[in-house]
A and B are shown apart, each in its own frame.
Chain A
Amino acid sequence: MQNTSINFKRQVTIKLADVKLQGALSRLQTRFVEGRAAVIGEINDLQETRTAAAAIRDRVLNDLEYWLLHFEQQATARGAIVHWAETGADVNRIVAEIAARHGVRTAAKSKSMVSEECGLNDALELAGVEVMETDLGEYILQLAHEAPSHIVAPVVHKNMEEIADLFAEKHQLPRKTDIAELCREAREVLRPAFLNADMGISGGNFLLAETGSVLIVTNEGNGRLVTTLPRVHVAITGIEKIVPTLEDVTTLLRLLPRSATGQSITNYVSVLTGNKDSADHDGPEHFHIILLDNGRSSLLGSEMQEMLRCIRCGACMNHCPVYQNIGGHAYGWVYPGPMGSILTPLLGGLENAPDLPNASTLCGACAVVCPVKIPLPDLLRKLREKQMERGMKSRQETFMLKAWAWLALHPAIYAMATKIGVRLMRILGGKEKILHHLPGARGWTDGRDFPAPAGMTFRELYKRGVHK
């Protein structure tokens, strides 16, 4: 997927004015924020469980080569073929080769954010493979030629009316008027796609080193269908998704659906290991697992490594007051919200996403809900430090920061400057004690007044002994 994060600021303006989008985003609060709150307390000791989950992820990341090789060995022993891809383009090439080798003409796909990183669908279409997205949200987006705006609820930015119009147009069926009817229509349209597909494509929520399995969590059942019916199954995921044992993944599963959608467990959890046996009635004859790097390995051993703990639950974006107001498309790539504001610059270049680390108040709501305790605000701040070090900040901002620091380190001059400053601003504030415009701070005063200062500084008054 093309990275358009550079347009973030322009997109913010557009998204804030998008009435339909704002209506759609208002549902985040009930479904996701309140949904999580309602079930997260079911976990016996949440903080202990989060700590354990973070430790599981760290154990793997600190020793990633070992666990990857162990996974590869176990998966291969069961008949799966493990592929390694350095870039998204490599993933596309590998999938196209697999399709060609097995004479695949049609593919049914369940939701995979990693495949969005690669732009897999377009590449497969070019290679002559017809791809059908089968996750309801992804299917709607495929019909509408849009990108997902949320990693768990890809079509959160659309309302029912828009989807009803889209289905009526694309399916050439009478327009449906309620959500259940729309879901049934999608089921009926998509069922043949599952039955006829030569290849199923899925992501992988976790890779189990112990057993060489790919674990997938889904609700709709499409994940099960695409990994059960077609004769070829290709699972695509990032190299960091390894978990050592079945027990470890169980700990993570207590957190993932609760954090993501407020479910104590997703409808289906599928652990897929190897090909079908000769006696089996179902299951793929060929199981390919593609492990994508795409820049992830460069985070290992760095101060950003903690980002690789991420299990893609989306809780950080659900709870982010910035995401809640602009939605996911403004961020310009696959991953929005706090985790995206860190991953996008790290995987796609800080120079291509200069706003993302800065477009946060560092309010910390994301860090509190992160199931694997990623210190998201700290990582955003570290990216800001990198921008400073590499001279990527505007001259004006750098000057202001340095000037303020210099002043703060010279108390006598600071006292003088603030004394003059507050008087000036007090006068400008007039009778109302309000400034409607503030030179150099239009960002503030375009939408807010600036309350005038009292007119004398605390240190002046204190010296005078006002308080005694």
Chain B
Amino acid sequence: MHVGLFVTCLVDTMRPRIGFATIKLLEAAGCEVIVPEQQTCCGQPGYNSGDRKSAEAMALKFLAEFEAFDYVVLPSGSCAGMIRVHYPDLFKDDPALLARITALGQRTYELTDFLVNIAKLKKVPGTFQGTLTYHDSCSGLRELDVYKQPRALLAKMPNVALHEMVESTTCCGFGGTFSVKYGELSTRMADNKCQHIEAAHAGAIVGGDLGCLLNIEGRLRRNGDHTTRVLHIAEVLSDSDLEAP
């Protein structure tokens, strides 16, 4: 299986190790991973802010770079949702493009969804030990039906104890530009999430979308919690020892 990896702009700039953890997991599942070098952003920030034109341009760029692969995988539910669910909306008036973009969208997966349902990963390479709680990011959950997949993978890890928090599926308040434009509101939503995390008594909060994780981490740290680890599911599953400089 030739898998094109779209690392996403956030992972590229903020937490490269999530990208490498993703490669490790895909290779463990028997995939040949290719990382197109010209990739940047899926266009979601513009799309969700009303800048449809920019989103269209980025969708075309994505199509050109990734159409050749058997599958495209992203360590992000919201970017995968953008491609699978929203790209077709951008080209609904162009049947030829729509067909291509839809076909590519159908081959595009969020990481855990891909590992469980396509690659059927048997053995999880990570050796993470400890308690964790899982935050279900909105787009992955509601656009791609990612809920059981990360839990199924975590269940394969004998030393991981999942402490479910209440309202794990409630939005953390990130919402891209929302987090800056409506900072107070966003902070309150993050704060609610932090309270649920605290009540779950877990050593780590884990999720599948870096945007949400940065938001949660930002509020945890501001609240004075410097101990709860904030990890991407790819990191937990691969336990990558690759410390980025």
Contact = CB atoms under 8 A, between A and B. Distances in A.
Interface of A: 9, 12-13, 16, 321-322, 325-326, 358-365, 367-368, 378, 381, 383-389, 393, 397, 401-402, 404-405, 407-409, 411, 414, 418, 421-422, 434, 441-444, 446-451, 453-459, 461-463, 466-467
Contact of A322 (B23, B37, B48, B185): B185
25 contacts: A12-B182, A321-B170, A361-B171, A361-B176, A363-B171, A364-B143, A365-B138, A367-B142, A388-B51, A397-B177, A404-B41, A405-B58, A408-B41, A408-B61, A409-B57, A411-B38, A418-B12, A444-B186, A444-B218, A447-B222, A451-B214, A454-B244, A458-B19, A462-B35, A466-B20
Given A365-B142, A401-B46, A463-B37, 12 more contacts: A12-B185, A321-B192, A361-B171, A363-B138, A388-B49, A397-B49, A404-B41, A405-B46, A411-B40, A449-B222, A461-B244, A467-B24
Interface of A is mostly: helix
A381 B58 CA distance: 18
Contacts of B214: 450-451
Given A381-B50, A404-B41, A405-B57, A321 B23 contact: no
Contact of A421 (B13, B20, B179): B13
| 4 A-B pairs with least C-beta separation | A361-B175, A443-B183, A447-B187, A448-B218
A456 B221 contact: no
B185 A458 contact: no
A303 to B, nearest CB: 11
Contacts of B175: 360-363
Contacts of A361: 138, 171, 173-176, 178, 186, 189
B12 A457 contact: yes
Where chain B touches its partner, the secondary structure class is helix
B58 to A, nearest CB: 6
Nearest to B9: A408
A321 B38 contact: no
Contacts of A378: 89
Contact of A467 (B23, B183, B221): B23
Contacts of B52: 385, 388
A358 B51 CA distance: 13
A79 to B, nearest CB: 48
A322 B131 CA distance: 30
B12 A384 contact: no
B150 interface: no
Contact of A448 (B20, B45, B222): B222
Interface of B: 7, 9, 11-17, 19-20, 23-24, 35, 37-41, 43, 45-52, 54, 57-58, 61, 89, 138-139, 142-143, 169-171, 173-192, 214-215, 217-219, 221-222, 230, 242, 244-245
A393 B20 contact: no
B244 A456 contact: yes
A359 B15 contact: no
Contacts of B13: 418, 421-422, 453, 457-458
Given A405-B46, A454-B15, A455-B245, A448 B215 contact: yes
